[in-house]
Structure 1
Amino acid sequence: MRILLVEDDPQLGDGLCVGLRQTGFTVDWLRDGKSAIAALTVENFDFAVLDLGLPDCSGMAVLAAARQAGRDLPVLILTARDAINDKIAGLDAGADDYLVKPVDLNELAARLRALARRRQGRATPLLTHGTLTLDPAARRVTRDGIEVALSAREFSLLQLLLEAAGRVLPKSQLEQALYGWNDEPDSNALEVHIHHLRKKLGSDLIRTLRGVGYTVPKP
């Protein structure tokens, strides 16, 4: 899942990028509000993690611009402002969650996973498909009760496909979710990951619709 992180503190931003990437998220980081507004206008993100005290325009202005543009992605405000009135204002302005700095990275990741479940309408944290089970929190995949070792990108790709079971995801959408601005994947990188997943989990799990994309049929 792809996150837009908007944070002007270089040390905190770097730490958040490293930590969130280690828990399986793709993170693009911006340090000012105007750039964030522009990015949210033209790019597709699964979440935004938004500081309020930005140097050029406030995080509240970024949030307002995103909502006025019809962007419905979940937004988690991450700020040092801990007053109740600030929390109420942020949530009433369209934020989906509000966390006060300093933040525990495990809690932040858990809250993002919870936002993902709610957006997808899932009641359970586990993704299942027949005898296949994927645990996003533990980053663990089992088939017939036996753990299957996957690379970080293979895991993220499988999670995307299982979350969208029954729908076809275009190659461009999958690549955008898996690779951030600073990544330069090979032209056939996605196909290589699909090949490895089929080899590890069976050739019948992921179907290719030539010229369209990939899908995991509903069980």
Structure 2
Amino acid sequence: MMEKLWPSIVCTTHVQKISAQNLIGSINQRIGKTFTTRALIQDVNEKSIHAAATLWRPLASNEIETGQQIHDERNRANIQSYNNLMETLNSLLMKNILTWKQQKMTISLLYLLLQNCVPIPSSCIRTFMDFLVHENIELRKHAEKSIAAICRLQKPPRIYIEKSLDEILHNVGQSIPTLVDGDCQPGDRHDNLWVTIGGYKQPETQTEWEQTCFLD
């Protein structure tokens, strides 16, 4: 549906009536506010299959194979429709047949379609790069947003490594602190001064406080 609807909205010819212009603008704003990225590739893990079999009944091997074929065909159709829509909108931008307002609507729709589950067509990336130096400032802003979104999508996921307190203290050359009921005592301790600037230790008495040099 989107494959036919969005290009039709973009290619709507200019009209003189203010009400018709407002309607087209409202449609574009509504799409921008309410559009959610569709999952083009739908995957079902083994845990979900076992849960479904428990709730209903175990499936025969031919039923599983038929369902997998339907699933794969649906994913291929979604990807093909997505690529067709991206290429159609991109070709409309590159043909220079749209007004600047239609170009703004087209590039904003392309921005909404960006996702990382399928490769982004290289022609669309090239178009975004070309529009970075466009004479219209609004089109340049949309191109900047699109390039930034592509960079975020290409960013690899963060890798978190869990380390024990013993390993952290060993790396900084400090000993293991005394545990209270199996846990480290909170607050300022000699073993956690490494998280402060220059090993700063808060003064505990009035004499130590008066000897603290704040400005040198």
TM-score range, shorter chain: under 0.3
| TM-score (norm. length: structure 1) | 0.23
Larger of the two Rg values belongs to structure:
2
Normalization by structure 2: what TM-score? 0.23
- Which structure: greater helix fraction? 2
